[in-house]
Each structure stands twice: as C-alpha cells, then as structure tokens.
Chain A
Amino acid sequence: MNIIELKDLHKIYNETEVEVHAVNGVDLTFEKGEFAAIVGPSGSGKTTLLNMLGGLDTPTSGKITINNTDISHLSGSQLIDFRLWNIGFVFQAYNLIPVLTAKENVEFIMHLQGRKKNEREARTKELLTAVGLGDRLNSRPSKLSGGQQQRVAVARALASKPKFVLADEPTANLDSKSTENLLDIMERLNKEENITFIFATHDARVMKKARRVITVEDGKIVSDVRKNGDE
C-alpha cells in the first residue's frame, strides 16, 4: 500500500537571476515499511525532494499525496499541523534543544501534540531504551556524544507516532561505529515495528543498509533500485 505518492513534481527556484530547476518532473511512490535512501551528488536535488516530502517546502507544480492527503496546496499552518502528526524528522546536525535533557527532548513533540503526562513518560522511556539510551534519560545534549545525540533525535522523531521518518544526512557527522550503531537501530525499528524510513544521503554505509536506493541527478530520478533486484 502506497503511503506517499509524488506525481510530476517540479521545484524551480527564482531567487537569483538564474532559474534553478531543483526537482524536475519526479514521479515516485513509497510503501509502508520501506527503508529507502535517496542518493545523489551535492546539488542533485535530493534534499529539496526530501523537504517537499516533509512539507517543509512546497512544489512549484505537481502533487504530493501522503496517506490520501494532497499536501501540495496546504497552507503554512496546515502544513505545520500535518508535519506534527504525520512526519518524523532526523537532521544532519541532530538539532536537539540544548537546554532540555534527552527525556525532555523526546517528550517535547508529544507536548506539542497535547499528549497526557503518563503517555509521554511511558513512550519516552520505551523509545530511549529502544535506542540504547535508557540510562541517559536526564543527560543534556552537551553531555552526549554525536552518536548518542542522533539516537535521541531518532527517538524524538518516533515519539509523535509518525507515518514515516525522513532523515536528511543523519550520519554525516558521525564516526563509523556510531553510524553503524545508529543504522542498526533504525533497521531494527523498521523491521520489528514496520516504521518507514526515507534517507537523503551520500553515505555509502547508509546506501548499503537501505533496501531501496533512489538516485537523483539534476533534479531527475536516474535509477530506483530495490535490493531484491527489482528496478
């Protein structure tokens, strides 16, 4: 079952004198439970594609349907609400709130959703334990390593019970051991809990783990490879 459908998606930037066609007629679908990587060189349009998938940017033309909702024409505040309830984000630079502990960072998004204290606390503990940080609940980001911070970010992304998680270069700032550890955790969550992960990356380690690799060049999809061999 498709949870995401992109149809003839275009994104043109006119901010400079030169018109930039960052995404150029992309058609793409994602099914529930995918572990996919969008790859490509810098400036290929993978981040723009990911931003539009996440409702952080709007297409110039085309249609984005997520769980039967066309988000291409939602207003700014509708998009904020849509993101809150449907999409989990993991960013390259972790982007945790530095003044909150690991537990509070994970709880934060559930505060935004207005979930009750008992539910928040139980889910936070469950998620931080799942990412191997059950003993670091009260540590602030500054007391955690990069890998640990990114694992908190994964827990935060999952806390809102999203339909899928978008991870933009999640391993770019991590060493090999942390990268492997993080990818193992995300793969396990994907397999055991059927959580959909979509990465934008040019990290070979991520591509290796991904079961689907979509290559983007000059705003176009040049290949879409599934690890079982289908293309």
Chain B
Amino acid sequence: MSQLEIRDLWASIDGETILKGVNLVVPKGEVHALMGPNGAGKSTLGKILAGDPEYTVERGEILLDGENILELSPDERARKGLFLAFQYPVEVPGVTIANFLRLALQAKLGREVGVAEFWTKVKKALEILDWDEGYLSRYLNEGFSGGEKKRNEILQLLVLEPTYAVLDETDSGLDIDALKVVARGVNAMRGPNFGALVITHYQRILNYIQPDKVHVMMDGRVVATGGPELALELEAKGYEWLREKVKEGA
C-alpha cells in the first residue's frame, strides 16, 4: 500500500464541479507526469491533495499509504509526508526563508532541529540548486522573480524531504537553465522512498525529469495513462487528437 492513491474524486468550487471522478495511483519510488490542456483540473487536483479549504470535495478518497487523508488539515497532511510545490508561491513579508524553513522542518520532524543539523541540510540543498546562501536571509518569496519562487519551492522540497510531492506546473514560465535546475532538484529526491506527481502543460520538463508513467487529464478526469512515449505523442499530435480518441472509445 505504499502509494498515493486517488479514488473517484469529485470536487467543486463556488458550486462549479471541477473534478469529476479522478482515479490515479502514484506508487512510492516512482515519478509520474500529469498532463492535460488548460482547465482540465490538474492544478485543482494538486490543491485538493494539499487540502486547500477553498474547494469542496464531494465524493471520493485520497489515500496516503492506505490512509484516507481527506479529513486532515493541510498541516497534518504535510506532516504525514505530502508536499505541494505551488504554481504561484505566496509572498510572506518579514519572514526569512531560513526562519521559515527551520520552523517547517521542526514541524515535519516533530522535534527541535539544532542549528548545525539545519545548516548541513540546507547547504546541501543549496548546492544542488546552485543557489546563493544570501537567499536564506531574504523574506519568503517577497520580490522574487517567477524563477526564484519556483527554485524556492524546490529548496523546500529538498529540505523537508516529503514522501510524496506534487509539483504544480513548476516548469511554467521558466527558461531552460532554470528548468534544468528545478529538474536537478527533483531528480536528487528520486529513490525508493519518494514518489512524485509532476503536473505540467508541456512535455519539455519531461526531457529532464524522466517519468515512469504519464497520465492525461481532461474535463476533470484522467482519460489516458501510458509510458513516457505518451507525452511525446501528445506533443506531436496535440490534445485534440486525444480528445477525439477518447470520444471514439466512449
């Protein structure tokens, strides 16, 4: 049961149903891609996994290693090892990255984290991301460029070491160098004790993060699942091709 499993998940916001029966499994140790056109519900799925209170879950289950986490608050989910890299990370003025990261790590581990232990971890993460120590004393995301915000999400991923991570369009708006850095961060996490769902609109990031599987979402449901070649096929033929194919199947 070492997997992140979504079963028949239905969810809405302001009375509009966005997810219409999502089924998806990401086993621990694997990296899956979730692709789909704009408005398919990909980002909504990411936020609902993290417990965004803006959305109402109407039906279904989210099972983290077999445990239904739907009733848990966002922080309880995080402490159980779930992580969402935000598409639009939020600015928190006056709170330094260092201070925030240490508090988050302490919350995750449920114990005090000494300065030495903290620095060892953070330095390693900064090296992987080729990032300057100076960022640690900056305020969380305040005045950051889009690329810096995304890099900061991956820094948090590396320091907090979750069991399952959802990356919500971390590649959007990044130039090729920034994209490589982000990919390096995710690849550094790869291993038997880590599973990830990489949400993306484009195939490009998958050149740097090789997915074990590719899922495609349309109109609030997962409509296709395949190997890495599915992403390439989509890139070549477009989402319309798949839409037609799904219709034929139905």
Q: Does A associate with B in a complex?
A: no
